[in-house]
A and B are shown apart, each in its own frame.
Chain A
Amino acid sequence: MEAKVFASSQPILSLRGISKYFGGVHALEDVDFDVYPQEIVALVGDNGAGKSTLVKIIAGVHRPTKGHIFFQGQPVEIHSPHDAQALGIEIVYQELALIETRDVPANFFLGREPVKGRLGIFVDRRKMVEDTVRTLRELGIELPYLRSPVRYLSGGQRQALAIGRVMPWGGKIIIMDEPTAALGVKESRRVLDLILRLKEKGCSVIVISHNMRHVFNVADRIVVLRGGRKVGDKKKSETTPDEIVKLIVGADML
């Protein structure tokens, strides 16, 4: 199934020859990067390898110094996070992007509240609650208190909320930067399940992670960056954690 999807379809997102220089620092150098439909791509590499820079270029936070981006085969320019969202590229900001003092529906719809009435200024609270409940159920996210402030939720529940809320916006590609970094074993498992469920729902996911076990748990393909260059691009079925680690640290270079 994986192989079929991989082989038979066009990439939904293609980056070609991407370079990014910050002054004299070459953060990325001539990187090609593809994401296929319904594919989970893990992006791995040491600190400073260029992972965050790469996803920020995809999310419209940075603009590449050189190179081209194609979305569903068409050349595109992503100037801002807003442009990225318009294409269906959503980035999951971690816990820091939740409002602790507000409840779950308020956080779920933050910045995209549905309105009702002719004036278009009144929030449709009922729709917010209903849609939140439905999406959370679809994703299998269980939150005990919908109507109390988010601060009463656990770390894992907050992370699930942060991920779940990008779902209803027709996101085709969802980017996560270390989604399990601050979580315990059980909570990490839940988040990984959630990533798999997003794939079932038709999304592609780009995950940055340092945790090899998590990477091999969910990823279809693993892309390795080192010193701003792509040094590995392997299907999970054709590689091992050992090989990936070697690529990350550069032990193959002899």
Chain B
Amino acid sequence: MPVLAEERATQVLQKFFVFWDRVGILLAFIVVFIMFGALTPVFFHPINILNVIRQVSIIGVIAVGMTFVILLGGIDLSVGSIVAFTGIIAAGFQVKWGGSLFLSIVVPLLIGGGIGFLNGFISTKGKLHPFIVTLGMMSIFRGATLLVAQGKPISGMSPAFRFIGAGMIGPIPFPVILFLGCVIAAGIVLKRTVFGRYIYAIGGNEEAALLSGIMVERYKISAFTLLGFLSGMSGLILTSRLNSGELVAGQGYELDVIASVVIGGTSLMGGEGGVYGTLIGALLIGVVSNGLNLLGVQPYWQMIVKGIIVIFAVLLDRLKRRFRTT
């Protein structure tokens, strides 16, 4: 009975996806975590663990913002360039333009938010796909970074500024606190506030959201602005940690960030997912990078592995939709 067998297979798959939605990512993370621990003894060392989560924070802060944008059915490729540009501006204020701590924190954050606003504004008002708008922005702000820096990295931050990326509060690195703070705040916003619920509604069915009187454009622009702001925050953390505004900072971050969100179960079609999944997704990406490093695998291979993971995650999402009970 091939028909019955097919039905049975569908049922099994449906059950699997329900299960996967709940605990799948967490389980995958635990398996990878234990696997690397078994392969390299150094992996479980507290210093290494701290190192991993600190690195994850830099990507993770952006991934929190990206979760909002992807939930809306959007995408942003310019985040890496925003990291570089805001980082170089922060370094500029630290080293070249008077050394004000206040300005070197506030101006980059505002610029990050401003670029995000432009991404949202141009894509909604111009009715352009955010993919193409942010692709352009990615190039524009990489160029702007080189222009501001005049082709040379800007190094030598003040100790106070260095705290952002390298400081500790008790045993916990400051960026980790920033990251977890963002995750918790975003979780509350998405679940409990009108803003969060509209993000889901718009991603689920934009037309219906419009007919219900939801100001779709305004929420889209807000989400992009938030993402730009958080990318700016990531730029501050990175510049502070490296003690330098680097020209190639943030290069390729868009992949890690989007991978974190998608692995975390947020659908690229929008409307479904959440920020706690993104937390696990970011940790998974971080652990894979770190583990492969410790194993002495060439960085080139890491890029290949990450690319495969992203495609796999999107495929899984597609399959999930196909085998959904209707």
Q: A residues near B, CB below 8 A?
A: 81-82, 93, 96-102, 106, 110-113, 115, 121-123, 125, 151-152
Chain B, residue nearest A153 (CB): B326
Contact A121 to B194, CB < 8 A, known contacts A99-B205, A152-B325 = yes
B204 touching A82, Cβ below 8 Å: no
Whole-angstrom distance between the alpha carbons of A81 and B197 in the complex?
Answer: 22
Q: B residues near A, CB below 8 A?
A: 192-195, 197, 200-201, 203-205, 207-209, 211-214, 271-272, 324-326
B190 to nearest A CB, angstroms?
11
Residues of A within 8 A of B207 (CB): 96-97
B321 to nearest A CB, angstroms?
10
Other A-B pairs, 12, CB within 8 Å; known A99-B204, A111-B209, A111-B213: A96-B207, A97-B207, A98-B205, A99-B208, A99-B209, A100-B204, A100-B205, A101-B271, A106-B201, A110-B214, A113-B194, A121-B195
Whole-angstrom distance between the alpha carbons of A113 and B207 in the complex?
Answer: 18
Residues of A within 8 A of B194 (CB): 113, 115, 121-123
A213 to nearest B CB, angstroms?
29
Whole-angstrom distance between the alpha carbons of A122 and B188 in the complex?
Answer: 9
Whole-angstrom distance between the alpha carbons of A93 and B205 in the complex?
Answer: 13
Contact A97 to B326, CB < 8 A, known contacts A110-B201, A115-B194 = no
A162 to nearest B CB, angstroms?
10
Residues of A within 8 A of B195 (CB): 121
Residues of B within 8 A of A97 (CB): 205, 207-208, 211-212
Residues of B within 8 A of A82 (CB): 213
**9 closest A-B pairs (Cβ-Cβ)?**
A111-B212, A101-B204, A99-B204, A101-B271, A110-B212, A97-B208, A111-B213, A99-B205, A121-B193
Residues of B within 8 A of A99 (CB): 200-201, 204-205, 208-209, 271
Contact A123 to B209, CB < 8 A, known contacts A99-B201, A101-B272, A102-B204 = no
**24 interchain pairs (CB within 8 A)?**
A82-B213, A93-B211, A96-B208, A97-B205, A98-B205, A99-B200, A99-B208, A99-B209, A100-B204, A100-B271, A101-B205, A101-B272, A102-B200, A102-B271, A106-B197, A106-B200, A110-B212, A111-B209, A111-B212, A113-B197, A115-B194, A121-B194, A123-B197, A125-B192
